[in-house]
Amino acid sequence: MQRKTLSMLVAAALAGVSMAAAAGPVTDEMILNDAKSTGDVLTFGMGTNGQRYSTLSKINTGNVKKLVPAWAFQFGGEKQRGQESQPVIHDGKIFVTASYSRMYAVDAKTGKELWQYDHRLPEGIMPCCDVVNRGAALYDNLVIFGTLDAQLVALDQNTGKVVWKEKIDEFSAGYSYTAAPLVVKGLVITGVSGGEFGIVGRLDARDAKTGKIVWTRPVVEGHMGYLNGKENGITGETNASWPGDTWKTGGSSTWLGATYDAKTNLVYVGTGNPAPWNSHTRPGDNLYSCSTVAINPDTGKIVWHYQNTPNDGWDYDGVNEFVTFDMKGADGKTVRAGGKADRNGFFFVNDAESGKLLNAFPFVDKVTWASKIDLESGRPVYDDANRPGNPGADKQGKTVFSAPSFLGGKNQQQIAYSPDTGLFYVPANEWGMDIWNEPISYKKGAAFLGAGFNIKPLFEDYIGALRAFDPKTGKKVWEVKNNAPLWGGAMTTKGGLVFYGTPEGHLKALDAKSGKELWSFQTGSGVVAPPVSWEQDGEQYIAVVSGWGGAVPLWGGDVAKRVNYLNQGGALWVFKLAN
């Protein structure tokens, strides 16, 4: 496999640079402080609460136009496809995953490869939406990531040697893993992918040093949880919101991972679509699908839940990240809240301690499945005519045109929150779909949809839009439109900037207050990953992975035809201010 490091522009100036961060093992204290520390990036989300906010301001609105490449590292080979990984950085090393369950360790000073790990994937893996991986977790002297055949692997940070490896579940039954793990109090917390195959969604917590299971919590009603090998209570109440045996293959995958807030001591996970897509086979709310679920990490028990799309009939996964922040209420009191830009097109603000709905508003221009979210009941007000029809025994049901499409007002691309502006920055997409239901029955390891679809753009001039919203009022403060759909995450900084990437290949910096574009760089392939920032030897750096792919070219229908000219790739780009 051929790989090479590109020395670009200021490579010579990087010689001898060392990380301005603590060396040695990664501790729980360091992880909890990740959002404030500047010399490293230890977690997915740049902090366990997922705000993706950097306290660094050396790169700012006044000088960002001087940002230039420091170096670029090429993943190499023919295994391109979608590159959705967020790098993590510690002790002079950048750890970054790539498509097909690969891991690289790169010298943060020079971009030189230190080691590579290629997970051996078996025949017959069944990833739903490209062969992506979104990143790793750091703990002790380990770097931990999941694989497409549903395994969790811990590698030595210095050598890349396997320290432990544990099976999450059976890939032959449709399980896989694509998210970045989360470490909380010495536990590595993981979800599962595979909602389109009738799997059962859950969170697992393992001892991060050994990989041994501590607790597991299913997020489909009727399934038993476990703590230290003993039964730990059924999730919900069997058949309370699922008819018959439908809960046994209920989906609700937890494929985008979780966040954690130390102030509430709760892990928050978004849950995916109920299975199958055909909602007429499973009348009821189908808990805890399409929800935000808050779990106590010490007990593995559900503390509260909020369901964003009860009885989902459009594949509006609720997996989107729940980002906690402080919000002043009308009474002047500060509430610990959480924001979530849901696939269904609504932005939800919940009390992070209780789950009570505080606000909900659309963040896309067209939503057809519901007219609003009722703030008193917390439930959507459905447009019943927009639900795909009930199929007969041998024919499809009535087709409807729904917006957003099942790829969502927002999908895997991550939002960011700035405590300086009080705004959320949301990479949104404007598209709809023709959708219809079909007869379906469950078969282990086979697709379990019961629906057909075709995704269509809503507007001629754009699909994607980066938007800034006030979570208290729901006001859209500004937007920047993009021709292709946005599929990479956002990051905001103390320097008054918002960084994000486009499928056309640009990494961009905007003024966080106005949305004015201040800087742009062409990476050579589509950016479908979130950027990060850190400091080393007194200088601030920005990094992002470039490599077009993900769900859009695979599932995008008419939208995919509009972006079929985009080139694949695989590279880690690092930037700094020119001297």
Catalytic residue among 130, 149, 204, 315: 315
* The pLDDT of residue 25: 97
Structure token pair of residue 546:
């470039």
pTM above 0.85, yes or no: yes
Q: Could you give the count of Cα atoms lying within 13 Å of 63 in the half-sphere of its Cβ?
A: 11
**What is the pLDDT, as a whole number, of residue 21?**
62
User: pLDDT band at 8, cuts 50/70/90?
Assistant: very low
Averaged over 474-480, what is the pLDDT? 98
Distances (CA, A) of 110 to 133, 156, 433: 24, 21, 46
Structure tokens at 353: 């301690």
Lowest mean pLDDT among 240-244, 261-265, 548-552: 548-552
Of 44-53, 382-391, 528-537, 559-568, the range with the lowest mean pLDDT is 559-568
Look at residue 196 and give its three-state secondary structure. Answer: helix
d(CA 106, CA 114): 5
Of the pLDDT bands very low, low, confident and very high (cuts 50, 70, 90), residue 565 is confident
List domains and CATH numbers for the chain: 5-577 (2.140.10.10)
Distance CA 115, CA 228 (A): 35
pLDDT tens digit string along 68-80? 999 999 998 767 8
Host H or E run for residue 96 = strand 93-98
Is residue 10 over pLDDT 60? no
269 contacts 219 by C-beta, under 8 angstroms: yes
pLDDT at 160 over 50: yes
In this prediction, residue 1 carries a pLDDT of 39
Q: For residue 381, what are the contacts with CB-CB under 8 A and spacing of at least 6?
A: 370, 371, 372, 373, 374
Is it the case that residue 97 has pLDDT exceeding 50?
Answer: yes
Q: How far is CA 526 from CA 234, 503, 529, in A?
A: 44, 4, 9
- Judge whether 315 counts as a catalytic residue: yes
Could you list the beta-strand ranges (E) of 133-219.
137-139, 142-146, 151-156, 162-167, 182-184, 187-190, 202-207, 213-218
What pLDDT is attached to residue 127? 85
- DSSP state letter for 384: G
Over the stretch 248-281, which tens digit does the pLDDT of each residue have? 999 999 999 999 999 999 999 999 999 999 999 9
